[in-house]
Amino acid sequence: MAKIIITGGNVLDGEVQISGAKNAVLPILCATLLAETTISIGNVPHLHDVTTTMELLGALGVRLSVDDKLGITVEPTAMVETIAPYELVKTMRASILVLGPLLARHGHAEVSLPGGCAIGSRPVDQHIRGLIALGADVVVENGFVKARADKGLRGGHYSFDMVTVTGTENVLMAAALAKGTTVLENCAEEPEIVDLANCLAMMGARIEGAGKNRIVVEGVDSLHGGHYDVMPDRIETGTFLVAGAMTGGRVLARRTRADILESVLHKLEEAGAHVNTGDGFIELDMRGKRPKSVSLTTAPYPAFPTDMQAQFAAMNCIADGVGVIRETIFENRFMHMNELQRLGSDIQIEGNTAIIRGVERLTGAPIMATDLRASASLVLAGLVAQGETTVDRIYHIDRGYENIEEKLGGLGAKIRRVA
């Protein structure tokens, strides 16, 4: 099984190119199911989750091709298979995102329930209830969500019980082809939802309010293809900036956006970083200083993202002072804390709160990745731990980071992957 081996101690200094956003490209690839003419997607990151989505679309009978610049072209398919099997869905929860598009375009969809997950229980009841509000008949049977709308979906009103990113995306995609007006309330406001809505608008959808709490969709009869470039990955950006901050270094992230990272940049400044932003770039410079501990609470956008919690936990481990981290989105997203302790961190867990007392130094050890962002935090900790850190089960990181060892290596880290 592939591992990453890091020899800690190097100060990062250099430039890194940010890839397209994982959490935008996944719903956008599922949205291609709605198009009646050829659609191409650019700035697609080379990630395992993208490959899984392509396999899933392929299993549904969609014809797609990849060019040498990692653009994906999807040919229109009048008839597709409308059953998404457990074998594919269980490896990636985002597969549930085919439910809304299949149902809206073909009047039928059966998508396996994704099952357990390392970071929390993650039910999909809100996706289902949103689709029922658009007139779908939905049952959960034999481990599948089985949805039907023989006469097509019709516009409706739904207020989400809690803020859900993929729930908002699923119902939004379905509403794009529903007859009449749909009003969605208590929507997630994440930038990836805006990116999906922009792609749908390019396809001819009529959507107002994406990125706000209330979204109004005027259903259209059909959607067409075209070309759409995926937004930059804000979590990948944040991860490299934290890597720079932890090592007391300087990182210039290019092909990214500062406007979607405000809460993260604010916390990095609180940690002592000098942050300079401009058109398409963010530069962080610690001027050789050790970071100061920061306290934070995760919450839906625009508050501090749960997907950056583990990386900031790693930074607090070697920062000056005590940082308190509260996780409010997922009930089991502290799996990295035990592994960080193996490197010598001082962490006390009380329910959904981690109290981290920064230590002067961490020491390398073999550690194990448990989920995507947890593995990123372990790699970051390895960058500052004295000696060698081996991160096992690194396949988790390939789900969401394109060539992380090459990119960190380019910034001056001593890091390699072994089979």
Q: What residues are labeled active site?
A: 117
- Beta strand pairing call for 274-278 and 281-285: antiparallel
**How far apart (Å, rounded) are the C-alpha atoms in residues 308 and 319?**
16
Closest contact distance (angstroms) between CB of 118 and ligand EPU is: 9
Candidates 351, 354, 358; CA nearest to 374 is: 354
DSSP assignment of 162-225, as one string? S--HHHHHHHHHHHHTSBSEEEEES----HHHHHHHHHHHHTT-EEE-TTSS-EEEE--S-B--
Closest contact distance (angstroms) between CB of 104 and ligand EPU is: 18
147 - beta bridge partners? 109, 138
Candidates 45, 5, 8; CA nearest to 314 is: 8
Query: What does each C-alpha distance from 157 to 132, 153, 161, 165 come to in angstroms?
Result: 10, 12, 13, 18
Closest contact distance (angstroms) between CB of 307 and ligand EPU is: 5
**How far apart (Å, rounded) are the C-alpha atoms in residues 90 and 75?**
26
Nearer to ligand EPU by Cβ, of 114 and 248: the residue is: 114
**Alpha helices by DSSP H, 215-261:** 234-246
Closest contact distance (angstroms) between CB of 196 and ligand EPU is: 10
Closest contact distance (angstroms) between CB of 369 and ligand EPU is: 12
- Beta strand pairing call for 3-7 and 388-392: antiparallel
Identify the helix (H) or strand (E) that includes residue 256.
Answer: none
Nearer to ligand EPU by Cβ, of 188 and 381: the residue is: 188
Query: 76: exposed, middle or buried (C-beta count within 10 Å: 0-12, 13-18, 19+)?
Result: middle
**Which residues would be at the binding site for ligand EPU (CB under 6 A)?**
22-23, 26, 93-94, 120-127, 162, 164-167, 188, 305-307, 329-330, 372-373, 400
Candidates 101, 112, 4; CA nearest to 406 is: 4
**How far apart (Å, rounded) are the C-alpha atoms in residues 347 and 108?**
49
Nearer to ligand EPU by Cβ, of 122 and 224: the residue is: 122
Strands (E), 279-413: 281-285, 296-297, 322-326, 346-350, 353-357, 362-363, 366-368, 385-386, 388-392
Per-residue tokens: 95: 């597969």
Closest contact distance (angstroms) between CB of 241 and ligand EPU is: 17
Nearer to ligand EPU by Cβ, of 23 and 82: the residue is: 23
User: Contact, 8 vs 391, CB < 8 A?
Assistant: no
Candidates 139, 206, 150, 157; CA nearest to 177 is: 206
Closest contact distance (angstroms) between CB of 287 and ligand EPU is: 31
User: Contact, 371 vs 392, CB < 8 A?
Assistant: no
∠ CA 291-295-297 to the nearest 5 degrees?
135
Closest contact distance (angstroms) between CB of 188 and ligand EPU is: 6
Candidates 236, 231, 225, 222; CA nearest to 264 is: 236
